[in-house]
Amino acid sequence: MERQNVLVIGQGAREHALCQALAMSPWVDKMWASPGNPGMAELAHLDAREGLSAWLNLAQEANALTVVGPEVPLAAGLSDALRARGLAVVGPSRAGARLESSKSYAKEVMRQCGIPTARSMTVDGLDAVKALVASEWGLPVVIKEDGLAQGKGVFVITNEGQWQRFLGQARENQGPFIVEEYLEGREISVEVFTNGRDYVWLPPAVDHKRLSADQESPNTGGMGAYSPVPWLSQSQCQTIDRQILEPIVGYLGEQSIDYRGVLYVGLMMTTSGPYVLEFNVRLGDPEAEVVLPLLADDLYPWLAELAQGRLLKSKIADTGKRAVGVVMAAEGYPEHPVAGRTLEISTRVPGTRIFQAGTEMVDGHLRSRGGRVLTVVGLGDDFSEARAIAYRQISAVEFPGAQFRDDIAEDLSKHG
């Protein structure tokens, strides 16, 4: 194998984690990131040009393997366009990306494949939602906007107050909506590398979607994660294989959907087994920030093979460590994030990684410029160590007004 150039598309902490994993590979020659962020600038050349045609040109000029971080360019057909020019890319085709970009399509596929998921109905407008909830469905209920909403178009409504709040917010968006049965259980994020025929598990992870531990707090893009998941049993993994992963990957193959990348399955583990909440067609964020640092295998050969439609091996090696990642978000996130705060990282705690997302460099100073600003990850031999060092590192970050959860992986650290 020859050393290769790599282009990472995206600008979040997930893409920073991808850059960091790839920067450790002896096979990676030069690395570009577009648009990138100041953290990625320490590892890669940044190119601020954004959009499909800019990325096509950049990939061609750099003669790079392209790794697509976020879902939006995938749904817009970036992988198809790169492949049409003979360029290597990790990321599903536009047809594959529909599993994430259209929730109603994903539901239809699950129905066809017999994959367990919440009962649901797609309706046109708010009036139809009201009628349905008033007549048959009642509360609790879950209402989702169709299309890409980055974790924010989902309303979990278990009481009258939340219903009224939904009605207030939903007025701006007249649908279509998906009305869904409320599922109770523990959530887990299962991510696999797949070529649309076979798949290999990455270490599973748990995200923390709410802004705070308070169940009334808003849903966010994700406020922290841990990996692996000690409470997930071998037999639960086998059920996930049999009931979910084998049928969905089988479907991609039968339909000849070009899928070379990551499939992310958001699951609710209920008392009657795993139910799919959502498919995503890329690594999770913040899941990537805890999963990638656990890998013992060099990431590059996996991605290079995946781009050619092959899986490197039947299993991916991990270090056996535990990872706890805590997101530091801006004051006012998610509704009204405040930008422009100066960030100072006085001490670097050994065993931690700091991945940047909504940051910018202004006159040599790191500043916040978005909602989720940093993901601070602690790696340890057990969860209590990983968690302790993550929070020790957070105390050494000066970030006025930062919001972060203090309970990430709290329940696990008690058991080691």
What does the binding site for ligand AMP look like in residue numbers (CB under 6 A)? 118, 142, 144, 151, 154, 156, 180-183, 187, 209, 219, 266, 277-278
The C-alpha atoms of residue 343 and residue 360 are separated, in whole angstroms, by 10
47 or 207: CB nearest ligand GLY:
207
Angle, helix 13-23 to helix 299-307, in steps of 10 degrees: 110
- In angstroms, what is the minimal distance from the CB of 69 to ligand GLY? 10
The C-alpha atoms of residue 58 and residue 52 are separated, in whole angstroms, by 10
The C-alpha atoms of residue 353 and residue 393 are separated, in whole angstroms, by 9
- In angstroms, what is the minimal distance from the CB of 267 to ligand AMP? 10
Determine if residue 147 is left, alpha or beta; phi over 0 gives left, psi from -120 to 50 gives alpha, anything else beta: left
The C-alpha atoms of residue 188 and residue 274 are separated, in whole angstroms, by 9
89 or 156: CB nearest ligand AMP:
156
On whether the CB atoms of residues 275 and 117 are closer than 8 A, the answer is yes
185 or 301: CB nearest ligand AMP:
185
Which of 180, 285, 289, 305 binds ligand GLY (CB under 6 A)? It is: 285
15 or 207: CB nearest ligand GLY:
207
Which of 196, 204, 222, 274 binds ligand GLY (CB under 6 A)? It is: 222
Would you count residue 287 as binding ligand GLY (CB under 6 A)?
A: yes
C-alpha distances (whole Å) from 119 to each of 189, 190, 277 are: 20, 21, 11
**Residue recorded with tokens 């790079």:** 64
180 or 385: CB nearest ligand AMP:
180
- Say what the alpha-carbon torsion angle 309, 311, 312, 318 is, to the nearest 10 degrees: 140
Would you count residue 385 as binding ligand GLY (CB under 6 A)?
A: no
Which of 12, 70, 96, 151 binds ligand GLY (CB under 6 A)? It is: 151
Which of 280, 375, 384, 403 binds ligand GLY (CB under 6 A)? It is: 280
Q: Which option in ligand AMP, ligand GLY, none does residue 285 bind, with CB closer than 5 to 8 A by kind?
A: ligand GLY
On whether the CB atoms of residues 17 and 262 are closer than 8 A, the answer is no
130 or 152: CB nearest ligand AMP:
152
The residues that touch ligand GLY, with contacts defined as CB under 6 A, are 151, 207, 222, 280, 284-285, 287
